[in-house]
Structure 1
Amino acid sequence: MASDDHVSGAATAERIRADMLDSFDEELEEEIDDQRLAALLDRASDHPETESLNRSLYFKELFRLQRELVKLQDWIATNKKKAVVIFEGRDSAGKGGVIKRVTQRLNPRVCRVVALPAPSEREKTQWYFQRYTPHLPAAGELVLFDRSWYNRAGVERVMGFCSEAEVEEFFRSVPEFERMIVRSGVTLIKYWFSISDEEQHFRFQMRIHDPLKQWKLSPMDLQSRIRWEAYTKAKEAMLERTHIPEAPWWVVEADDKKRARLNCISHLLSQFPYQEIERPPVELPPRVHNPDYIREAIPEEIYVPRIY
């Protein structure tokens, strides 16, 4: 009997290990796909030279940092903390990639992403910050803004979607708005992802040539290439006028995606005095077996076809 239990336990452990490897495969496949497309493009265009991080080291560090993010999540939920992280940067700077790696192993009930569409006609008549405030965290929540109220200082200003008077009012209001958020007990962290002209050009080329990524390329992205210098001036003004002690800006060098992800997640973790939450060991209770229970047969026609 003891031998049977040992075999059963070993089989369970192997299944758990295989399931963990499967969860890593998604990350590996995405990296391999990026490399495949980059290799194709390297033969057709000039890719800016960057010393790539060793893949083995990258994955080792990524998974280590993701374990720490789980600890941070538990600490936030247990201690009823509130946190907001803003991700800003040029199109294709890698914001979405970092957000994906942050949230990949986390509970969406604790850590959620806010990516708002363009404002509706009604929202355009509201106080500018009004559409963002409902998404701020309650106790025990971490909210990641994939772009934020800083749209006004960036795309709206550059594309002429607002007046210079509205931009000036934004610059006057946003420091006090953020101080109010911080005074309410929210930790507010702001990241700007910085990439070079050459790297953005290369990443847009990747999107153009990859049918799985073409949806990421919008008419606004194409305009951002034309208006590179205007975006640079807008970014410089934004950083200068909204870098406050209560909520400073942090610049992530993002020409190398892997380094940007690791550096950003490592820095994010350093902004919280989190500790691992001790929990009692979990034991799976035995299933109750009722002798009168009969499992009903499910009609074959409602099963999904077994194509694979």
Structure 2
Amino acid sequence: MRSNKGIVFGIIVFFMTVSSSAQKEILVIGRTTGELVVNKNKKIRSFGFSSTLSGQVSLPGSPIEMIVGDSLTIDFWNISQGNPVSLFAEGINFKQLDEENKIIKNKPVAHMEHGLYRILAKNTGTYLYYSPENYPFNLQAGMFGIINIREKEKLESKKTDEVVWCSHEIDTNWHTDDIMNENQNAINNPFKLLEYQPNYFLINGKLAKKTNGLQPLNLRKDTIILRIVNAGLYNHEIEFPVTMHPEIIFGNTSNSIKTSETTKVVLHSKETMEIQLFLVHSKENESIVYNYIDPKIGKVIYKVKIPVFY
């Protein structure tokens, strides 16, 4: 599992994207044999994406790092126990290829088969990619990951730290073996599920309440970029102290409400956002509030305070 200090994507992770012009290829493996540790006394089964057969499924899975202008070929290997799976992202065109690298009509990749996708990094931003089959089950079960696209100039400047918070919820009644072992046909007709009633609320695959914060207090920076991703089915509302002067640099700016004390942003399911935060005037005891809201009734089901510094 990733550290819940916030999946800090520093410059060192760019071993996959050392050039802004060369075409690259990576392996993404779709799996239904993951295990998620939600606390020391509770483990649940999950779906997910990994980059190696021996690697454990993590949430979010298989991060994809690109620079504007990059062309990336994804070798997607589906070992998901009879569940046809494909890759999709809003804002990025996943073009499926045949063995001769010719574009074909997108279709789910069958169990133990490989599917090739090509994506082009046209614009900077943070994007959620996921399996759209059996929606919303595959998404909630853990088949999602993040694509980060940056400009080469910003990569080389190293002036700003970045943190990713990928929030989601889990209904453990959807994670029983009876449901997760159900085979799907090539048409991928969705199966019936119990009413969604999540009982665990997470950030980066860990309980949200265990998220330490944005930065160590003794290493605080003047500015930071927070990439937030809603991989859940609820709406996620984040409240920032007014002292942080949040500025949305990617995402839907209309999903922001300012008051005298806070700036609130709302992410609907599968939405992403990048926010520049200014920490110069942040106090040591300030917190960011995360609200998980049931969209059917508009009610906050779970709330957690995350300290700005740790």
Q: Which of 1 and 2 has higher RCO (CA within 8 Å, sep 6+)?
A: 1
TM-score with structure 2 setting the length: 0.21
More helix by share: 1
Which structure dedicates a bigger proportion of its chain to strand? Answer: 2
**Larger CA Rg, structure 1 vs 2:** 1
TM-score normalized with structure 1 length: 0.21
